[in-house]
Amino acid sequence: MLERRARKERTEVTFVLPADTPPGPVSVVGDFNNWQPGTHTLQARGDGMRAVTVTLPGKSAHSFRYLAAGDYWFDDEQADSHDGINSRIHT
């Protein structure tokens, strides 16, 4: 799930997943962090979910995927679109 909050010329995007699905650590990896695993690792929230917030330029589009333990890559089903194997978000 993606949550967005507009901030002047930027957008705060929060990437949200259930706390235990998939199990183990998960990071969001995309063109906004040079596809570096571990840069944006989802952390537990009080609502039983886990999340990480990334600030992106407004009026832009970005590719991303999630990377879980065991080299398990997966997409966000609620992304704005998909380009092949990547999820896309439009700010």
- 3-state class (DSSP) for residue 42: coil
pLDDT for the residue numbered 2: 95
**Which residues are within 8 A (CB) of 8 and not within 5 positions of it... i.e. 6 or more apart?**
58
For the question of whether the overall pTM of this predicted structure is more than 0.85, the answer is yes
pLDDT for the residue numbered 87: 97
The predicted-structure confidence for 19-69, as pLDDT tens digits, reads as follows 999 999 999 999 999 999 999 999 999 999 999 999 999 999 999 999 999
Domain of residue 59, CATH code: 2.60.40.10
> Domain span at residue 12?
2-90
Between the alpha carbon of residue 50 and those of residues 34, 60, 62, 70, 77, the distances in Å are 22, 25, 21, 18, 16
Number of domains in the chain: 1
Confidence of residue 4 (pLDDT cuts 50, 70, 90): very high
